[in-house]
């Protein structure tokens, strides 16, 4: 017994399948070479700046504004994506209507369409004289070259994240749960708001986090429509590029480090919430 307990720590459970060493070796080598060393380089460079200098660079007003705009617009866009994404997923899962299959396939367009193409197309549409912009201008709404334009671009890139995380969970909703709510006298609205949506919360949260993380880092689709006015519509990734073009590597590094720290802590918190929900309710996403 004692011998067995002592032996119970092992790096891997024995298996008759071959190739573990080779496969894991290739994986670790490639991961280290492509991902870990470059990211470590960034970490070393930013810690090499020293706390005081790092803080000075990160607290630069233009940097702070760019970060605020990036995180603010990404948050807003992710909220919009949650609202429309839930409706869209519901429509795709529950209703039958002509063209549904095409619509379903189209949802993945932002995954497949290069961001630069999306950027120039959205700019053309929402510019003051564009197909959509011309109707908004008389209303006093300016989209292109304002933070609102950034939000539109981020809604575009983030949409599939919400739809594709919520959709499979919706498909698995037990119809009997809805029927149970109805037999207890709940109106359709009460069933949806009190029973179905809370059950979807973990999936919605995941979709939100993915859309938000993508939105914070997005570059290609935003720079065309944003107008890129410092302090107003200049996003953090663009500021990194600007600092790089000025050969101001320390500043670029500091902004990047702050962005990564914020994004990772956010994802970490969301993971905590998910595992808490899984422990408590027995499900998560």
Partner 1 sequence: MEVRVENIRKEFERFPALHDVSLSIRSGELIALLGPSGSGKTTLLRLIAGLEAPTQGKIFFGDDDASYKSVQERNIGFVFQHYALFRHMTVLDNVAFGLKVRPSSRRPTKAEIRERASKLLDLVQLSGLEKRYPTQLSGGQRQRVALARAMAVEPNVLLLDEPFGALDAQVRKDLRKWLREIHDQTGHTTVFVTHDQEEALELADRIVVMSQGRIEQVGTPDEIYDTPVSPFVFRFIGQSNCLKVRVANGEIWLDDRPIGLPAKDEAEGEALLYFRPHDIEIRDGCGGCIAGVVAASRRVAGTRHLELEIGNGHALMEIELPPERAAAVDRSRLAFRPTKWKLFRE
Partner 2 sequence: MAHDTQALAPGNYARVGKATTERPLARWTLIGISLVFLLLILLLPLAAVFFEALRKGPEAFLEALADPETFSAIRLTLIVAGISVPLNLVFGIAAAWAIAKFEFKGKAFLTTLIDLPFSVSPVISGLVFVLLFGSHSILAPYLQSYGIKILFAVPALVLATVFVTFPFIARELIPLMQEQGTSDEEAALSLGASGWQTFWYVTLPNIKWGLLYGVLLCNARAMGEFGAVSVVSGHIRGVTNTMPLQVEILYNEYNFVAAFAVATLLALLALVTLVLKTLLELRYSAEISASRRH
Site residues, partner 1 (CB under 8 A) = 174, 176-177, 179-187, 190, 194-195, 198-199, 201, 280-283
Partner that binds at residue 88, options partner 2, partner 1, none, CB closer than 5 to 8 Å by kind: partner 2
Nearer to partner 2, 65 or 66 (CB): 66
Contacts with partner 2 in 158-197 (CB under 8 A)?
159-161, 164-165, 167-168, 175, 178-179, 182-183, 188
Instruction: Provide the CB-side half-sphere exposure for 159 (13 A, CA).
Output: 20
Q: Which residue in 262, 260, 241 sits closest to 251, CA to CA? A: 241
Partner that binds at residue 198, options partner 2, partner 1, none, CB closer than 5 to 8 Å by kind: partner 1
Nearer to partner 1, 60 or 178 (CB): 178
Q: Is 272 in the site for partner 2 (CB under 8 A)?
A: no
CA–CA gap between residue 96 and residue 90 (Å, rounded) = 11
Instruction: Show Cβ contacts of residue 133 under 8 Å, excluding neighbours closer than 6 positions.
Output: 125, 126, 127, 143, 144
Nearer to partner 1, 179 or 246 (CB): 179
Query: How many residues touch partner 2 (CB under 8 A)?
Result: 96
Count the Cβ atoms, other than its own, within 10 Å of residue 54: 18
Question: In 32-146, which ranges are continuous DSSP H helix?
Answer: 37-48, 51-58, 61-94, 100-106, 109-112, 115-126, 133-136
Nearer to partner 1, 34 or 177 (CB): 177
Partner that binds at residue 201, options partner 2, partner 1, none, CB closer than 5 to 8 Å by kind: partner 1
Of 122, 148, 226, 251, the one binding partner 2 (CB under 8 A) is 122
Contacts with partner 2 in 49-78 (CB under 8 A)?
none
CA–CA gap between residue 197 and residue 193 (Å, rounded) = 5
Q: Helix 61-94 crosses helix 147-171 at what angle (to 10 degrees)? A: 40
Partner that binds at residue 225, options partner 2, partner 1, none, CB closer than 5 to 8 Å by kind: none
Contacts with partner 2 in 83-102 (CB under 8 A)?
84, 87-88, 90-92, 94-95, 97, 101
Contacts with partner 2 in 28-47 (CB under 8 A)?
30-31, 34-39, 41-42, 45
Q: For the residues of 236-249, what is the DSSP string, one character each? A: HHHHHHHHHHTT-H
Partner that binds at residue 91, options partner 2, partner 1, none, CB closer than 5 to 8 Å by kind: partner 2
b or e along 59-70 (b: 16 or more beta carbons within 10 Å of the residue's beta carbon)?
eeeebebbbebb
Partner that binds at residue 55, options partner 1, partner 2, none, CB closer than 5 to 8 Å by kind: none
Nearer to partner 1, 5 or 183 (CB): 183
Structure tokens at 222: 């935003």
b or e along 193-205 (b: 16 or more beta carbons within 10 Å of the residue's beta carbon)?
eebbeebbebbbb
């Amino acid at each position: 017994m004692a011998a067995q307990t002592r032996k119970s720590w092992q790096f891997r459970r024995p298996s008759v399948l071959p190739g573990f060493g080779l496969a894991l070796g290739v994986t670790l080598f490639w991961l280290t070479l492509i991902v870990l060393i470059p990211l470590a380089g960034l970490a070393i460079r930013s810690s090499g700046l020293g706390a005081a200098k790092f803080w000075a660079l990160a607290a630069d007003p233009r940097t702070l504004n760019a970060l605020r705009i990036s995180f603010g617009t990404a948050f807003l866009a992710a909220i919009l994506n949650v609202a429309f994404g839930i409706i869209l997923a519901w429509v795709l899962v529950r209703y039958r209507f002509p063209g549904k299959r095409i619509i379903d396939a189209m949802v993945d367009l932002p995954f497949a369409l290069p961001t630069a193409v999306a950027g120039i197309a959205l700019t053309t549409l929402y510019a003051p004289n564009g197909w959509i912009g011309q109707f908004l201008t008389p209303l006093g709404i300016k989209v292109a070259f304002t933070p609102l334009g950034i939000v539109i671009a981020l809604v575009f890139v983030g949409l599939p994240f919400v739809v594709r995380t919520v959709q499979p969970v919706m498909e698995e909703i037990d119809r009997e749960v809805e029927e149970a709510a109805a037999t207890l006298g709940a109106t359709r609205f009460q069933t949806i708001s009190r029973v179905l949506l809370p059950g979807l919360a973990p999936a919605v949260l995941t979709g939100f986090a993915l859309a938000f993380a993508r939105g914070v880092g997005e570059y290609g689709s935003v720079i065309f429509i944003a107008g890129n006015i410092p302090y107003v519509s200049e996003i953090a990734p663009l500021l990194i590029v600007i600092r790089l073009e000025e050969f101001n590597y320390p500043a670029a590094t500091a902004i990047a480090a702050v962005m990564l720290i914020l994004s990772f802590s956010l994802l970490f918190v969301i993971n905590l919430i998910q595992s808490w929900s899984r422990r408590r309710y027995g499900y998560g996403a």
